[in-house]
Amino acid sequence: MIKILFVCTGNTCRSPMAAAIMEKIAIDNDLDVLIESAGIFAEVGGRASENAVKALDEMGIDLTFHQTKPITEELIEKSDIILTMTEGQKELLKPVAGNDVYTLKEYGGGHGDISDPYGGDIDEYRETAKEIYDALVDVAERIADIQNGNSENNKS
């Protein structure tokens, strides 16, 4: 099993969307993963943003029960892979997480940040959800390769 932690700023938009989308992709592709999300500046027990919930609902994914949580040393230590939404978030975590932290796009073989829809309209959230989904398809392929023994990046 590979333990993946998705990290954004407030754990209300991008990281919970990424975690929920990855959960669906993992089920659809029979990947053995444990998925969590957290935020660098998140509060405990908040909800996902309304438009994040709506955008994922349109994809058939339920985000209504998400509760925000801040990143902790314990979450970092129990994660095999930490995927941030931005290069800045990656740089903040690198001193604590070491070489196990990547941006979401970087881990999937791309580059750049996942756009932040916070405060935006539903269309911005839809675009971000699509951007996350596209990156996660590549991430899922990499994880499948690891789990099938086709990569040297397997920590589990």
Q: What is the pTM of this model?
A: 0.94
13 annotated active-site: no
| Residue 113, phi then psi, degrees to nearest 5 | -95, 155
105: pLDDT strictly greater than 80: yes
Integer CA distances (angstroms), 99 to 47, 69, 82, 139, in order:
30, 23, 9, 17
126 annotated active-site: no
| Residue 102, phi then psi, degrees to nearest 5 | -140, 160
Q: Which of 14, 80, 113, 126 is catalytic?
A: 14
Over the stretch 113-124, which tens digit does the pLDDT of each residue have?
999 999 999 999
What is the number of alpha carbons within 13 Å of residue 20 lying toward its C-beta? 26
14 annotated active-site: yes
Q: Which residues contact 149 (CB under 8 A, 6 or more apart)?
A: none
Q: Which of 13, 32, 80, 116 is catalytic?
A: 116
Over the stretch 26-71, which tens digit does the pLDDT of each residue have?
999 999 999 999 999 999 999 999 999 999 999 999 999 999 999 9
